[in-house]
Amino acid sequence: MKKHNFYAGPSILPEITKEKTAEAAMNFAGTGLSVMEVSHRSKEFVAVMDEAQALVKELLKVPEGYSVLFLQGGASTQFLMAPYNLMDKKAAYLNTGAWSKKAIQEAKFFGEVDVVASSADANFNFIPKGYKVPADASYFHITTNNTIYGTQLHAEPEVDIPLIGDMSSDIFSRPVDVAKYDVIYAGAQKNLGPSGATLIIVKDEALGKIERQIPTILNYKTHIDKDSMFNTPATLPVFACLQTLRWLKENGGVEAMEKTNIEKAGILYGEIDRNKLFKSTVANAEDRSLMNICFVMTDEYKELEKEFLDFATSKGMVGIKGHRSVGGFRASVYNAMPISSVNALVEAMQEFEKTK
Ligand SMILES: *Cc1c(COP(=O)(O)O)cnc(C)c1O
């Protein structure tokens, strides 16, 4: 039976990414060796890193003066690396979920953290608006898509200080105005590649402004100077990321992705709103995520949750169980998710409704 992969992360990848990576696992770039067993300083692997960085710049229209890095440690390491490098005495944060909270917790090691707004009291079911961001903060940190709660910032907040964006679960899903950011970071395993690589886009000019001593490996400058080769990069994951980046380019780039993502999310939210058994967990429709679509059973049918999960599983749906802090269901519909899989889930929801 066809499996429809709705996992939140690690998650679905384009078929071509898996095929090319499987090939390179045996014979990389005609070397007769696996991509796992060649030096990261070989000309073949350096070409992979160079092309991956160049494609990130091309796809996101990254302006001059920014560096693209592929490091390790996940987005979670960026929670501390960003403030280590960029926070002078104070930074502002928007608390929109579990990942924001973790970023805030790490930032507190480096200075005063001003949490300008939070939706914690409502279990993060909306994106706060109408807050004030202090002008003397070094930056304003946002989580652009809240993977667990299914909310998303559909536009950058209007602020006078630079932004730092955790884009782990919506990078490459839409165009981004990179110029507004000092740092953008994303663990690869949601929308780009396997776990093990972390993408970072950093504004060169934003660095070197603070007095704090920074350990070598946690200093962005170290990695910029060595072109992401200060220490051994995650070679196989970076190779896989490159395959996805090529796929993105061949399929119309982030503009085309956004169009399809709006269509996919529209189909699924449409069914959630229509079907008497289900309802969205997000309070305001304008905050709904195009990547992670969270829904629960309406109060009247609450006890059918397990039954629907089993039914959907029997129809080939994988990974739709909601995060334990929200419950219900979560369908992650990243770039690589075809419309046909979204339609299959919708059909399962409709079929199940008919039996009730
Ligand atoms: C998954 C996720 C993280 C954590 O990423 P790791 O690479 O596991 O550290 C951070 N932020 C967001 C928004 C995520 O979705």
- CATH class name, domain 15-250: alpha beta
Query: Is 247 tagged catalytic?
Result: no
Which is the catalytic residue, given 166, 170, 182, 287?
Answer: 166
- Model confidence pLDDT, tens digit, residues 299-325: 999 999 999 999 999 999 999 999 999
> Is the beta carbon of 9 within 6 A of some atom in ligand 1?
yes
99 is catalytic: yes
Which pLDDT band, with edges at 50, 70 and 90, does 34 fall under? very high
Instruction: List the chain domain ranges.
Output: 4-11+253-354, 15-250
Mean pLDDT over 86-103 rounds to 98
Summarised one tens digit per residue, pLDDT across range 76-89 is 999 999 999 999 99
Residue nearest to atom 7 of ligand 1 (CA): 74
Instruction: Give the residue whose CA is nearest to atom 12 of ligand 1.
Output: 168
For ligand 1, atom 2: residue with the closest CA? 168
The confidence score (pLDDT) of residue 142 equals: 98
Which atom of ligand 1 lies nearest, measured to the CA of 195?
Answer: 7
Distance of CA 100 to the CA centre of its chain: 13
Average pLDDT, the chain: 98
Q: Is ligand 1 within 6 A of the CB of residue 169? A: yes
Active-site pick, 20, 170, 182, 190:
190
pLDDT digits (tens, 9 = 90+) for 245-258: 999 999 999 999 99
* 166 catalytically annotated: yes
Domain 4-11+253-354, architecture per CATH = Alpha-Beta Complex (3.90)
Q: How many CB atoms lie within 10 A of CB 249?
A: 14
Of 20, 99, 170, 287, the catalytic one is 99
Query: What pLDDT digit, counting tens, does each position of 182-232 carry?
Result: 999 999 999 999 999 999 999 999 999 999 999 999 999 999 999 999 999
Rounded distance from Cα 190 to ligand 1 centre (Å): 8
Q: pTM of the full predicted structure?
A: 0.98
Q: What average pLDDT does range 56-65 have in this prediction? A: 98
Ligand 1 centroid from CA 188, angstroms? 9
Which residue out of 11, 149, 168 has the highest number of ligand 1 atoms within 8 Å of its CB and is therefore the one to mutate? 168
